[in-house]
Structure 1
Amino acid sequence: MAAVPTKLLVLSDTHGGRFPPDYRPPTSADVVLHCGDLTEESKIAEFLTTLDMLKAFGAPLTLVIAGNHDFTLDLPAFHRKVAEAGLASEPELVAREYGRDGEARKMFEDVRISHNIHLLDEGTHHFPLANGASLTVYASPYTTSPEADWGFQYLPTDGHDFSIAENTDIVLTHSPPEGILDRTAAKQRLGIPGLFQSVAKIRPQLHCFGHVHASWGAKLAAWRNATKTAGAETMSHFTAIDHGQSTVLDTLQSFQRGKFDDDATFTTKVQRLADFEKQGCRPIHGECDGRLKLDSGSRTYTLFVNASTKDDEEEQLHLPWLLDLDLPRSSPNMKES
Structure 2
Amino acid sequence: MQRVTMKIVCISDTHNQHDQLQLPHSDVLIHAGDFSMRGHVAETQAFLTWFAAQPHPHKIFIAGNHDFIFEKRRKKARAMVPDGVIYLEDEGVTLEGVKFWGSPITPTFFDWAFNRGPATIGSYWDLIPDDTNVLITHGPPFGTLDQVLPEGEHVGCPRLLAALESRLCPKLHVFGHIHEAYGQFVQGGRVSVNASMLNQEYLPVNPPVVVELS
TM-score (norm 1): 0.58
Bigger radius of gyration among the two: 1
Give ranges in structure 1 of 5+ residues lacking alignment. Answer: 79-100, 223-300, 327-337
Structure-1 residue corresponding to 2:35? 38
Whole-angstrom CA distance in 1 between matches of 2:39 and 2:161: 28
Structure-2 residue corresponding to 1:260? none
Cα RMSD (Å): 2.0
Whole-angstrom CA distance in 2 between matches of 1:198 and 1:49: 35
Q: How does 1:1-337 map to 2 (within 5 A)?
A: 4-20=4-20, 23-27=21-25, 29-75=26-72, 102-108=75-81, 111=82, 113=83, 116-123=84-91, 125-128=92-95, 133-147=96-110, 149-161=111-123, 162-163=125-126, 164-186=128-150, 187-200=152-165, 201-222=167-188, 301-313=189-201, 315-326=203-214
Whole-angstrom CA distance in 2 between matches of 1:46 and 1:179: 32
Task: Tell me if structure 2 keeps the 8 A contact 1:19–1:317.
Answer: no
Question: Which residue identity is paired with 1:26?
Answer: P
Whole-angstrom CA distance in 2 between matches of 1:312 and 1:71: 21
* Aligned-residue offset at 1:314: 5.2
Query: Larger helix proportion, structure 1 or 2?
Result: 1
Whole-angstrom CA distance in 2 between matches of 1:302 and 1:174: 17
Cα distance change, pair 150–4 in 1 and its aligned pair in 2 (3 A): same
Question: Which residue identity is paired with 1:106?
Answer: A
The count of corresponding residues between Structure 1 and Structure 2 is 210
* Aligned-residue offset at 1:102: 3.2
Question: Which residue identity is paired with 1:190?
Answer: V
* Aligned-residue offset at 1:69: 0.5
Query: Share of identical aligned residues, percent?
Result: 30
* Aligned-residue offset at 1:317: 3.5
* Aligned-residue offset at 1:2: 7.9
TM-score (norm 2): 0.90
Question: Which residue identity is paired with 1:212?
Answer: I
For residues 191-210 of structure 1, give each alpha carbon's deviation from its aligned partner in whole angstroms, at most 9, with x where no partner exists.
00111111222221001100
Whole-angstrom CA distance in 2 between matches of 1:104 and 1:3: 32
For residues 139-191 of structure 1, give each alpha carbon's deviation from its aligned partner in whole angstroms, at most 9, with x where no partner exists.
111001254x2111112344432022122101100010000000012212110
Deviates more, 1:308-317 or 1:137-146: 308-317
Whole-angstrom CA distance in 2 between matches of 1:11 and 1:24: 11
Give ranges in structure 2 of 5+ residues lacking alignment. Answer: none
Cα distance change, pair 63–139 in 1 and its aligned pair in 2 (3 A): same
For residues 96-147 of structure 1, give each alpha carbon's deviation from its aligned partner in whole angstroms, at most 9, with x where no partner exists.
xxxxx73332111xx1x2xx10111103x2323xxxx312112111001254
* Aligned-residue offset at 1:310: 1.2
Cα distance change, pair 48–2 in 1 and its aligned pair in 2 (3 A): closer
Cα distance change, pair 311–159 in 1 and its aligned pair in 2 (3 A): same
Query: Larger strand proportion, structure 1 or 2?
Result: 2
Whole-angstrom CA distance in 2 between matches of 1:105 and 1:314: 27
Question: Which residue identity is paired with 1:315?
Answer: L
* SS, match of residue 147 in structure 2: coil
Whole-angstrom CA distance in 1 between matches of 2:141 and 2:192: 9
